[in-house]
Amino acid sequence: MLVAERQRKLVELVNERMSVRVTELSKIFSVTEETIRRDLEKLEKENLLRRSHGGAVSVQKEESEISYVEREIKNASEKKRIALQAIQLIEEGDQIVLDASTTAWYMAKELPDMQLTVLTNSIKVAVELSKKEQIRVISTGGQLLPQSLSYVGPLAERSLSSYHVNKTFLSCKGVHLERGLTDSNEFQALLKKHMLNIADQTILLADASKFGVRTFAHITDLSNISLVITNGEIEGLYEDGLKEKGIQVQTV
């Protein structure tokens, strides 16, 4: 097993179990405990886990639907860079979907005023785009989730099914090479599934902290993703795995 692959699987294992001891990791990967300690030291520097006495613990927390205030603060600089890169993929006359992620909101803030149709379940995205005269905004409506200021549920899903778009831009809580995309909120997961089903192309916007994480509700397999835009910390752990699955990767 290559070093990068071992370290990627090590992070996934720690996130799944929340904590693992060095002795156990040494047996699982058939390497010395000293090798595992070097791996853990490297991965801790990349903020992918935290070393503990005799092992490692996950830095991921099982997230419920959290407020926009919290989400705007978390990994804000990475999300802004990802959003700016994603905007480069949008062409005049496109019909696109923006989900209720903070990265999509950053996209809405930075989008130039151009001929564009945007479907969204996000109140904040819709309000931001309302300031731009040439952009046509369609809101899904549905059941309001107050914490994220987003619409979900059967009405939102039926609304999306009436349309076809060129590109869907979405994020999620977890990205796993084997288990695909997941979200902590079942209603959000179901709506995101509809979002990618109506698109010619689905672009995943996810900073490196999302990789190796599995949360409650499954959205889709990675085979349904055309392109991943993420930040540079992914390199050496997950980028090769994504490319092996035929998925384009852009890092910022």
pLDDT, tens digit, for every residue of 176-191? 988 899 998 889 999 9
**Residue 52 falls within a domain, yes or no?**
yes
Q: Same domain for 89 and 196?
A: yes
Q: Count H helices and E strands in the chain, helices first.
A: 10, 15
* Tally of domains in the chain: 2
Q: Same domain for 97 and 116?
A: yes
pTM here? 0.75
Q: Same domain for 129 and 242?
A: yes
Q: Same domain for 47 and 91?
A: no
Model confidence pLDDT, tens digit, residues 212-232: 888 888 999 999 999 999 998
Contact of 219 with 182, CB cutoff 8 Å: yes
138 Ramachandran zone, left/alpha/beta (phi>0; psi -120 to 50): beta
Cα–Cα nearest to 59, from 72, 73, 70, 74: 74
pLDDT value at position 18?
74
Instruction: Give dist(CA 245, CA 188) in Å, integer.
Output: 25
Local confidence band at 199 (pLDDT 50, 70, 90 cut-offs)? very high
Instruction: Give dist(CA 210, CA 230) in Å, integer.
Output: 10
36 pLDDT above the threshold of 60: yes
Local confidence band at 62 (pLDDT 50, 70, 90 cut-offs)? very low
Q: Same domain for 92 and 123?
A: yes
Instruction: Name the token pair of 224.
Output: 């349904």
Q: Same domain for 144 and 217?
A: yes
Instruction: Give dist(CA 219, CA 91) in Å, integer.
Output: 27
**Residue type, position 64, single letter:** S
**Residue 63 falls within a domain, yes or no?**
no
What is the C-alpha R_g of the chain?
A: 19
Of the candidates 57, 81, 102, which is a domain's last residue? 57
Which helix (H) or strand (E) is 71 found in, with range? helix 68-73
**Residue 84 falls within a domain, yes or no?**
yes
The DSSP result for 160-180, as a single string, is: HHT--EEEEEE--SEEETTTE
26 pLDDT above the threshold of 50: yes
Q: Same domain for 50 and 147?
A: no
Which helix (H) or strand (E) is 204 found in, with range? strand 199-205
Provide the percentage of residues in the chain whose pLDDT is more than 70.
92
Cα–Cα nearest to 22, from 53, 62, 66, 64: 53
**Residue 62 falls within a domain, yes or no?**
no
Q: Same domain for 131 and 20?
A: no
Parent domain of 214: 68-251
pLDDT value at position 74?
58
Q: Same domain for 53 and 140?
A: no
Q: Same domain for 189 and 228?
A: yes
**Residue 180 falls within a domain, yes or no?**
yes
**Residue 166 falls within a domain, yes or no?**
yes
Distance of CA 49 to the CA centre of its chain: 18
Q: Same domain for 185 and 104?
A: yes
Contact of 194 with 161, CB cutoff 8 Å: yes
Local confidence band at 19 (pLDDT 50, 70, 90 cut-offs)? confident
Quick count: other Cβ atoms within 10 Å of Cβ 152? Answer: 24
